[in-house]
């Protein structure tokens, strides 16, 4: 569950924790700048900030609502994403399908979830004909409530009604992969096409699990107290990158457990962790403070792209950063003034899909963008 709304809409009143290691110095300027004209061979593009040297020929895909978590089909011809765009007849996140060259300014993409409950984290299966996603629709046709504050603190709900389903590209559910009590969601698929990683509450804590593509052979791969979520496989399927909270003090542990008992987590302090696909050799990758999340492997498998507000004094902005898998060479990638997150490389490594508040006319809309990537 990514619940971008907490991050986008509400100023997170958290202090700036710039406790980065000496070998994690930024290699890009840290000042905020307004968007200006960036020239390339084909176009004059106002959607790229001057310092964003990795982007080329950026294209805005959606124009309204909150659109996020756009994931590529294995052949890079399609993307699946979630949106709550009310103009598309939904009241909370549902799943929509698009061809890679489409833009949705004056038309609506086909919805491939049920339109009931709330859905999250859809991902293509290797055959290109099916997707998986988390949904609450078996519990209630209506959208569940989204609490954003508890005792003055910002929270994400982790609904115990979430389970993981498989559907075809016409939206027909063909399988239910989880049926355990409690939260099951945040499923993504290995590029090798053999495994799924997901987050589950079945142990009593929010841990990572893997299973075969058909839902069999479930294995728990993390077991430390805290919220482990948003996991992705490396390009060769050998490693996992994910975000996690790690309460340490008695006060932090009690607060985490009390919130979890109410189906809530606090997302304001998270770091990135990396491990082998079986959970071995687990280690913390970032030590930046504040919220570090939405990680995704660079096509080389040697770097991680992620979203963070560690430089922000009052919660914003969130920008994209890149770091080596050994924790060195931290580099700032985007230079927005509000929110850039959910970076996902195409399988061929040539394009990056991400969500951003840029070019939203001063509204709260979060739209999808696709940029050509330059190393």
pLDDT tens for each residue of 207-246: 999 999 999 999 999 999 999 999 999 999 999 999 999 9
Spatial separation of the C-alpha atoms in residues 187 and 189, rounded to whole Å: 7
Q: What is the DSSP letter of 72?
A: E
Give the Cα separation of 252 and 236 in Å (integer).
Answer: 36
Return the SS3 of 253. helix
Q: Looking at residue 214, what is its pLDDT? A: 96
Residue 202 has pLDDT above 70, yes or no: yes
Q: What is the pLDDT confidence band of residue 10, given thresholds at 50, 70 and 90? A: very low
Which range of residues forms the domain containing residue 257? 4-373
DSSP code for 111: B
Q: What is the pLDDT of residues 238-294, one digit of tens each?
A: 999 999 999 999 999 999 999 999 999 999 999 999 999 999 999 999 999 999 999
Residue 75 has φ and ψ, to the nearest 5°, of -95, 5
Beta-sheet pairing, 292-297 with 78-83? unpaired
Cα gap 351→118, rounded to integer Å: 29
Contact 91, 83 (CB under 8 A): no
Sign of torsion over alpha carbons 207, 212, 215, 217 = negative
Residue 294, token pair as written in the block: 């939405």
How close are the terminal C-alpha atoms of the chain, in Å? 30
What pLDDT digit, counting tens, does each position of 67-105 carry?
Answer: 999 999 999 999 999 999 999 999 999 999 999 999 999
Residue with tokens 């959607």: 47
Count how many domains the chain has: 1
Q: What is the DSSP letter of 86?
A: G
Q: Which two tokens stand for residue 17?
A: 């924790």
The torsion of the CA quartet 276, 167, 342, 142, rounded to 10 degrees, works out to -120
Q: What is the pLDDT of residue 149?
A: 80
* HEC per residue, 212-237: ECCCCCCEECCCCCCCEEEEEECCCC
* Contact call for residues 162 and 176 (beta carbons, < 8 A): no
pTM of the model: 0.90
The string of pLDDT tens digits covering residues 306-334 is: 999 999 987 789 999 999 999 999 999 99
CB 259 within 8 A of CB 245: no
Cα separations (Å) of 294 from 17, 214, 321? 19, 26, 11
pLDDT digits (tens, 9 = 90+) for 331-357: 999 999 999 999 999 999 999 999 999
| Rounded (to 5) percent helix, strand, coil in the chain | 5, 40, 55
Q: Quick one: pLDDT band at residue 371, thresholds 50, 70, 90?
A: very high
Provide CB contacts within 8 A for 285, sequence distance 6+: 241, 271, 272, 273, 274, 304, 323, 325, 327
Tell me the C-alpha to C-alpha distance, in Å, between residue 49 and each of 38, 56, 338: 7, 11, 13
- The torsion angles phi and psi of 4, rounded to 5 degrees, stand at -65, -20
CATH code (residue 163): 2.120.10.30
């Amino acid at each position: 569950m990514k619940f971008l709304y907490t991050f986008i809409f509400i100023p997170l009143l958290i202090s700036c924790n710039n406790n980065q290691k000496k070998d994690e110095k930024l290699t890009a300027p840290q000042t905020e700048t307004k968007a200006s004209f960036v020239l390339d061979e084909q176009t004059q593009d106002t959607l790229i900030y001057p310092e964003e040297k990795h982007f080329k020929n950026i294209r805005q895909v959606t124009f309204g609502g909150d659109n996020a978590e756009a994931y590529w089909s294995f052949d890079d011809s399609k993307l699946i994403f979630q949106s709550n765009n009310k103009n598309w007849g939904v009241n909370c996140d549902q799943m929509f399908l698009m061809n890679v060259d489409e833009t949705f300014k004056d038309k609506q993409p086909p919805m491939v979830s049920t339109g009931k409950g709330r859905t999250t984290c859809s991902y293509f299966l290797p055959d290109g004909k099916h997707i998986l996603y988390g949904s609450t629709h078996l519990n209630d046709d209506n959208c569940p409530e989204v609490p954003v504050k508890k005792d003055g603190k910002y929270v994400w709900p982790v609904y115990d009604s979430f389970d993981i389903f498989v559907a075809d590209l016409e939206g027909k559910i063909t399988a239910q992969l989880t049926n355990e009590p409690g939260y099951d969601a945040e499923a993504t698929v290995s590029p090798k096409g053999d495994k799924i990683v997901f987050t589950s509450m079945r142990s009593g804590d929010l841990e990572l699990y893997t299973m075969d593509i058909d839902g069999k052979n479930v294995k728990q791969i993390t077991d430390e107290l805290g919220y482990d979520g948003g996991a992705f496989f490396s390009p060769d399927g050998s490693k996992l990158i994910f975000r996690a909270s790690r309460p340490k003090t008695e006060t932090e542990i009690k607060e985490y457990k009390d919130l979890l008992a109410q189906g809530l987590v606090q997302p304001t302090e998270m770091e990135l962790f990396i491990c082998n696909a079986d959970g071995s050799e687990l280690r913390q990758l970032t030590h930046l403070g504040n919220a570090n999340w939405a990680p995704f492997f660079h096509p080389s498998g040697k770097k991680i792209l992620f979203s963070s507000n560690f430089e922000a004094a009052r919660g914003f902005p969130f920008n994209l950063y890149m770091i080596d898998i050994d924790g060195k060479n931290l580099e700032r990638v985007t230079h927005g003034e509000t929110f850039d997150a959910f970076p996902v490389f195409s399988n061929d490594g040539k394009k990056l899909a991400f969500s951003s508040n840029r070019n939203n006319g001063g509204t709260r809309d979060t739209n999808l963008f696709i940029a050509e990537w330059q190393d």
